[in-house]
Amino acid sequence: MIPKVYSSEEFEEKYTYSGELGFEWSPEKTAFRLWAPTAEKAKIRLFKSGNPNAEDCFEEIEMDSDLFGTWTAEKEGNLNGVYYTFSVTVEGEEREAADPYAKAAGTNGKRSMVINLAETNPEDWEEDEGVFYGKSITDAVIYELHIRDLSSDKSSGIINKGKFLGAAEEGTKTPDGIPTGIDHIKELGVTHVHLLPSFDYGSVDESALDKPQFNWGYDPENFNIPEGSYSTDPENGAVRIREMKQMIKTFHKNGIGVVMDMVYNHVFHTEEFCLNVLVPGYFSRTDENGNYSAGSGCGNDTASERSMVKKFIVDSVKYWADEYHIDGFRFDLSGLLDIATMNEITEAVHPTHPNVIFYCEGWVMPTHVTKPVVELANQYNSEKMPGCSFFSDTIRDYLIGPAFKSEEKGFVTGKTGRKELFEECFKGMPFWCKNPTKCINYVSCHDGYTLFDRIGIACPEADFEEKIRRSNLAAAVYMLSQGVPFFQAGEEMLRRKTNPDGTAEHNSYKSPDSVNSLKWSDLSKPEYKKVFEYYKGLIRFRKAHGALRLESAGEVYSHVSVAETGAEDVFAFHIWGGAKEETAEAIFVAFNPTKEEKEIRLPVGKWKLCINGETAGTEVLSEEEKTFIIPPLCAAAMIK
Ligand code: CA
């Protein structure tokens, strides 16, 4: 039973601390500060190693009660590399846990570590400043990647398989000499890689990395520390930090931003999460009976409306931006967090990091909020969060069918029509969204089937070539739409997630590497290589045309209009230049989702075709005037 008092005004007035928490290191001494207002006593325990099972505690230091429910202690000497935990007494019971504000930790994140962070910096880290300054989020093209997937297949040619360092290996190739890893990503032309959880999560045992293990990592252990299993030595707390920074620096050197997928909405183990141990149940919401409850079904829901949870989340995001030069944040199930927290995050980060982008998985979720009025950060409230964008399940479901009904078809798999919905999506403003800068357009991410698997399920009768045309059509729609294109790594090479029994996996969160890995050797096959070239071309075309990346509703209304082609089922748009450094006078795009070729009317003028069903780019493929025969299952884009 958790006291309801945590969310009362009296408690918040008395116990909201706005200063620094955790430790402050110097060569001469280390100062500690813990927020634990319900504790009767508090102490620090110091350890020699980061192994949570080693009995090597060499000192206990009593902490002094200080302002606003905090406890402090100082220890003389250079503590760099010393491991520690906090132990508090609450209602006579001793409770020990890691530091919620820990910046380094040993194996499985159970012991925090004092660290001189300067020693973890790679060479020239001070000159590294991230990417994407002066850009709009609509200029981004985002690539969603799991650290292990990039390198775990043998054909990657990457040495540090499954590691941060593997994602930083340049010059890697398949046995056939085709670039893999970061070189592939750079060639593709995306602006950001979005890393699935790379903070310290709990579902992979870092002490048993010789055993095959895989998890997406949506189960936070330490929010402010890199995941240990992605490092070459999880026991030494400095190694994972140094290696993650090295990776980030390498992405930046290649002009690619790094987005972190942050999971503030819940924790791995409700009762074992450090803040819930040290201040019993403070971090997580409880129901009317005072019991932990997850209205969301995620095990527990974070009580972001409580002042010190909010501070914790804001401090955490700011820390990643400051210390790791992170260029963007994706918030898992933000519909469980509150709007005020999201706004405090963007207001805290943007003044010093104006390049950082923020976007949210803003589904509406049931949850038991702990204050009378808490507005939740879901997509329907997007206008109340000026700094955040939101995933569009509207365009996803429109193009491939509803997420949880895999047998249902979408626009690219045979369900034509619903023109108005197409128009809303193409303009980057589906019904819940009033501005293209707030709309993340996608058809595939880690959740659900890969695009190619989904097409295979929806169109079992289709041959390989037809499935590729459908896949390319989906990509062309979201890449040419207003808003922000986003895709799962490998979509550009027809990624599938195939179980050993041959079925497609839709929830591969703990499937083996053989299911999840990117299969680089596929790029040796001409059909796959051609799809990769198609994605490259779509991205090149998008980057070359500012009119596809407009930044306000007003611009979209005045520059993008529906074009009548005379062919039912073919949807087309006329996009006028004159906005955002657009060099073309106009762009014309058309989408034929049917299996028949269609003759369509073109707007007045001579048009240069740059994109069709199998080729995309900025090179002119043909000149067209008055009419155009658009092939079956085909996107076409022309400029004049
Ligand atoms: Ca971990």
Distance (Å) from CA 566 to ligand 1 centroid = 58
69 band by pLDDT with thresholds 50, 70 and 90: very high
Q: Can you tell me which residue has the tokens 């199930």?
A: 333
404 band by pLDDT with thresholds 50, 70 and 90: confident
Distance (Å) from CA 248 to ligand 1 centroid = 19
401 band by pLDDT with thresholds 50, 70 and 90: very high
Q: Is 73 helix (H, G, I), strand (E, B) or coil?
A: strand
Least confident stretch, 79-83, 370-374, 443-447:
370-374
Tens digits of residue pLDDT in 592-624: 999 999 999 999 999 999 999 999 999 999 999
3 band by pLDDT with thresholds 50, 70 and 90: low
Mean pLDDT of 371-393: 97
298 band by pLDDT with thresholds 50, 70 and 90: confident
**From the candidates 149, 200, 332, 582, which is the catalytic residue?**
332
Q: Which residues in 499-520 are b (16+ Cβ under 10 Å) and which e?
A: eeeeebbbebbebebebbbbbb
Count CB neighbours of 604 within 10 A: 10
Q: Is 509 helix (H, G, I), strand (E, B) or coil?
A: coil
Q: Which residues in 364-373 are b (16+ Cβ under 10 Å) and which e?
A: ebebbbbeee
- Write down the pLDDT at residue 288: 77
- Write down the pLDDT at residue 296: 80
pTM: 0.98
- Write down the pLDDT at residue 535: 99
Distance (Å) from CA 320 to ligand 1 centroid = 17
Nearest to 440 by CA among 298, 331, 586, 574: 331
Model confidence at 199: pLDDT above 70: yes
Tens digits of residue pLDDT in 260-296: 999 999 999 999 999 999 999 999 998 877 788 777 8
Model confidence at 368: pLDDT above 80: yes
Measured between alpha carbons, how far is 134 from 113 in angstroms, rounded to an integer? 37
Model confidence at 526: pLDDT above 60: yes
Question: Tell me, what DSSP letter sits at residue 179?
Answer: B
Distance (Å) from CA 203 to ligand 1 centroid = 7
Tens digits of residue pLDDT in 10-41: 999 999 999 999 999 999 999 999 999 999 99
- Write down the pLDDT at residue 407: 82
**From the candidates 169, 200, 361, 491, which is the catalytic residue?**
361
- Write down the pLDDT at residue 2: 58
CA angle 32, 36, 42 (to 5 degrees): 65
552 band by pLDDT with thresholds 50, 70 and 90: very high
Q: Which two tokens stand for residue 476?
A: 């062309």
Q: Are strands 357-360 and 389-391 parallel, antiparallel or unpaired?
A: parallel
Report percent pLDDT > 90 for the chain: 96
Model confidence at 1: pLDDT above 60: no
Distance (Å) from CA 136 to ligand 1 centroid = 34
Distance (Å) from CA 159 to ligand 1 centroid = 22
Distance (Å) from CA 460 to ligand 1 centroid = 40
Active site residue 64: no
Measured between alpha carbons, how far is 383 from 565 in angstroms, rounded to an integer? 34
Tens digits of residue pLDDT in 246-265: 999 999 999 999 999 999 99
Task: Report how far Cα 226 is from the mean position of its chain's Cα atoms.
Answer: 15
Q: Is 95 helix (H, G, I), strand (E, B) or coil?
A: strand
Active site residue 332: yes
Distance (Å) from CA 101 to ligand 1 centroid = 16
Tabulate helix, strand, coil % of the chain (nearest 5): 30, 25, 45
Model confidence at 226: pLDDT above 60: yes
Model confidence at 579: pLDDT above 70: yes
Measured between alpha carbons, how far is 521 from 208 in angstroms, rounded to an integer? 29
